[in-house]
Amino acid sequence: MARSQLTEALAAQLKAVVGPQGWSDDPQVLAPHLEDPRGTYRGTASLLLRPATTAEVAEVVRLCHVVGVAVVPQGGNTGLTGGGLPEAGEVLLSLGRMNRVRDLDVANFTLTVEAGCVLADVQATAEEAGLLFPLSLAAEGSCQIGGNLATNAGGTNVLRYGNAREQVLGLEVVLADGSVWDGLRRLRKDNTGYPLRELFLASEGTLGIITAAVLKLYPRPREMQVAFVAVSDPEAALRLLRRARELSGDAVVTFEYLNRTSLELVLATIPDTRDPFDEPHTHYVLLELASGRPGDDLRGLVELVLEEGFEAGEVIDAALAASEAQAADFWRIRESIPEAQKRTGAGIRHDVAVPVSRTHELLAQGGALAERLVPGVRLVFFGHLGDGNIHLNLNQPPGMAAEAFLALTEEVNHAVLDLVMGMDGSFSAEHGVGRLKRDEVARYKSPVEVDLMRRLKQALDPDGILNPGKVVPD
Ligand code: FAD
Ligand code: ZN
């Protein structure tokens, strides 16, 4: 069936489905739903739907399916690839009102929530039950669990707990024809055919609309230790990571990297931040360990790791947080880098991954390449070294006009991504594909893989009404 545009007749039907609380056509209400956090894209929509139940989502999709009108699901709209923004004539469907906790099963270590629950609220619900939901990212105060699962979000705890994908046991999904797949299983073992759940994780709303999920919970750590460490180079950082994992019985939760420029941008633009050291250093890691074992001398363990790392020449200087406030200060430095970068001029960004064992090569070769392509460029390199995901970000050289720098985006992107792909890497480690990286899917994935993606899309959404123009190349 040919796709068509939202008409007034369909709009009236959809409004009736969701009721007076469930829609808006007020441009001021719609505006924040049409912006993207980096200002790269703008969406267009005349109607925002905010259904409150799975049945309402299903009926909306069914009505749109009948006439071939596209539906774009949206969570907290913190996505960084333009994936949740609609185009004219499409229906924007926000999951924010679907924010109920459906079930908490402490003995099963599971929490069943609706897709519109804000990530920080999910974490808080787990905490109230004395448990932990480990997914954590800087946007957690506004992103929603449905968006996290639809993008398979990563964040800072992946080293220890895995991506969003690994936090799910079951899903409830509204399919392209409006039928509902109830896969809300709370099972840790269930080998009964194809792993359908996996299809919807990281599919960014192109195969189905996630309306609820069964999430895995974990015991809460009793003790955490956070250290800000100056390391001699990224290869030394990798040796330190191994040392820390081995000596601590794998208690490392976070192992984040930042270079000197990243720290300098934060110190220059973010109030109330200060350098943890008196001397400048070139490379830093933020190390966090956690233990749930009573009587574990975690602090002693971290001291041992740092001492051995110092003797082995890996560690140049280290600051072990003496209080929660100091730990928060260290974390603030790391989490403020994207904002600091934004405040410091035009940026070209790469969210890439390589095997952890090759991250030092990536940092060295990526830096050399960028400096060759754009002499004087500022390398804002930081990221999740412990899981291989580095944000190879570049800021305009001092003295170069923003437009001139941004005009180089495509050339720089291709050179950097060619390098990454040549290192068995990924051109999008944790932010997904959306609109931004759809062409890279065609460019960097094999024809066989692209064809498999197209066949899945065709099988699950034959009329192409779910989030068209995203993820799957034309
Ligand atoms: P949205 O932006 O609303 O949507 C994202 C995509 O998912 C869209 O394609 C949308 O159509 C689809 N979608 C949303 N909800 C559903 C649903 N219920 N069913 C089906 N499809 C749906 N990401 C990381 O991985 N790691 C980070 O460390 C990280 N840090 C960030 C820091 C900041 C300051 C910001 C602004 C963003 C960051 N992000 C990070 C990116 C972003 O927060 C994540 O991609 C997040 O998972 C998106 O969730 P959301 O609810 O905002 O989804
Ligand atoms: Zn990140």
Find the mean pLDDT for residues 49-74: 98
Question: Which atom from ligand 1 is nearest to the alpha carbon of 154?
Answer: 25
SS3 content of the chain, % helix, strand, coil (to 5): 40, 20, 40
In this predicted structure, the answer to whether residue 193 has a pLDDT above a threshold of 80 is yes
The pLDDT of 155-169, averaged and rounded, is 96
pLDDT at 344 over 90: yes
> Percent of the chain beyond pLDDT 70?
100
Pocket probe mutation, ligand 1, options 80, 384, 438, max atoms within 8 Å of Cβ: 80
The separation between CA 269 and the C-alpha centre of its own chain, rounded to angstroms, equals: 24
Q: Give the pLDDT of residue 40.
A: 87
* Smallest CA separation from ligand 1 atom 35, residue: 139
Per CATH, domain 223-338 is 3.40.30.10: no
Measure the CA–CA gap between 23 and 31, rounded to whole angstroms. Answer: 14
Please choose, from the candidates 68, 14, 80, the residue with its C-alpha nearest in 3D space to the C-alpha of residue 46. 14
Q: What size, in residues, is the chain?
A: 474
Ranges of each domain in the chain = 8-97, 101-219, 223-338, 345-433
CATH number belonging to the domain at 101-219, selected among 3.30.465.10, 3.40.50.300, 3.90.940.20, 3.40.80.10: 3.30.465.10
CB 81, CB 432: distance < 8 Å:
yes
Does the pLDDT value for residue 293 go beyond 80?
yes
CA of 54 to the centre of ligand 1 (A): 20
Q: What integer pLDDT is reported at residue 221 of this predicted model?
A: 94
* pLDDT at 3 > cutoff 90: no
β strands within 127-266, DSSP E? 131-132, 168-174, 180-183, 209-216, 218-219, 223-231, 252-259
Reported confidence tier of residue 417, pLDDT bands at 50, 70, 90: very high
The Cα 16–Cα 47 span in angstroms is: 13
Exposure string of 6-36, with b = 16+ CB inside 10 Å and e = fewer, is beeebbebbbebbeeebbbeeeeebeebbeb
Ligand 1 contacts CB of residue 138 (under 6 A): yes
Q: What is the CA radius of gyration of the chain?
A: 23
The two three-digit tokens of residue 375, written as one number: 């002499």
State whether the beta carbon of 254 lies less than 6 angstroms from ligand 1. Answer: no
Beta strands at 110-114 and 209-216: parallel, antiparallel or unpaired: antiparallel
- Kindly report the CATH number that applies to the domain delimited by 8-97: 3.30.43.10
Kindly give the number of the ligand 1 atom that is closest to the alpha carbon of 119: 51
Res. 242: pLDDT tops 70: yes
Burial track 147-162 (b if 16+ CB lie within 10 A, e otherwise): bbbbbbbbbbbbbbbe
In the reported structure, the alpha carbon of residue 14 is separated from the centroid of ligand 2 by a whole-number distance in angstroms of 37
Under a CB-based contact definition with an 8 Å cutoff, are residues 360 and 315 in contact? Answer: no
Q: Give the CB-side neighbour count of residue 373, counting CA atoms within 13 A.
A: 25
Across 369-395, average pLDDT: 98
Distance between Cα 383 and ligand 2 center (Å): 6
Collapsed DSSP state (helix, strand, coil) of residue 166: helix
Q: Is pLDDT larger for residue 306 or for residue 293?
A: 306
Quickly tell me which residue has 């192992």 as its tokens.
255
The tokens describing 264, both together, are: 């300098």
Q: Which two tokens mark 310?
A: 């110092």
Contacts of 172 (CB under 8 A, 6+ apart): 54, 180, 181, 182, 183, 184, 210, 211, 212, 213
Q: How confident is the model at residue 2 (pLDDT cuts 50, 70, 90)?
A: confident
- Report whether residue 469 contacts ligand 1, using a CB cutoff of 6 Å: no
Tens digit of pLDDT for each residue in 253-291?
A: 999 999 999 999 999 999 999 999 999 999 999 999 999
Residue the block writes with tokens 């968006």:
147
Tell me how far apart the alpha carbons of residues 160 and 181 are, in angstroms, rounded to a whole number: 31
> Interior CA angle at 413 toward 409 and 414, to 5°?
125
Give 1's pLDDT tier (boundaries 50, 70, 90): low
Please say whether the structural domain 345-433 has been given the CATH code 3.30.70.2740: yes
Residue nearest to atom 42 of ligand 1 (CA): 79
Mean pLDDT of 154-180: 97
Ligand 2 mean position, distance from CA 122 (Å): 20
Closest Cα to atom 33 of ligand 1: 139
Distance CA 78, CA 39 (A): 11
Residues 6+ apart with CB under 8 A from 442: 450, 473
Half-sphere exposure of 181 (CA within 13 A, CB side): 19
| Cα separation values, 120 from 76, 123, 126, 139, 200, Å | 12, 5, 10, 9, 22
User: How far is ligand 1, taken at its centre, from the CA of residue 371, in Å?
Assistant: 31
Output the CA 457–ligand 1 centroid distance in Å: 21
Q: Which protein residue has the closest C-alpha to ligand 1 atom 18?
A: 146
User: Tokens standing for 436?
Assistant: 């931004």
* Residue 23 scores a pLDDT above 70: yes
Continuous segment of H or E residues that includes residue 337: helix 337-342
Atom of ligand 1 lying closest to residue 208 CA: 20
Give helix then strand counts, H and E, for the chain.
17, 19
Q: How far is the CA of 175 from the centre of ligand 1 (A)?
A: 20
Q: What pLDDT sits at residue 440?
A: 97
pLDDT of the residue at 295 = 85
In this predicted model, what pLDDT tens digit does every residue of 36-56 receive, in sequence order?
Answer: 988 889 999 999 999 999 999
* Complete DSSP assignment for 253-266: EEEEEEEHHHHHHH
Query: Is the Cβ atom of 92 under 6 angstroms away from ligand 1?
Result: no
Cα–Cα distance for residue pair 369/385, rounded to 1 Å:
20
The reply to whether domains 8-97 and 101-219 share a CATH topology is no
The H-assigned helical ranges of 68-214 are 119-128, 145-151, 158-161, 196-200
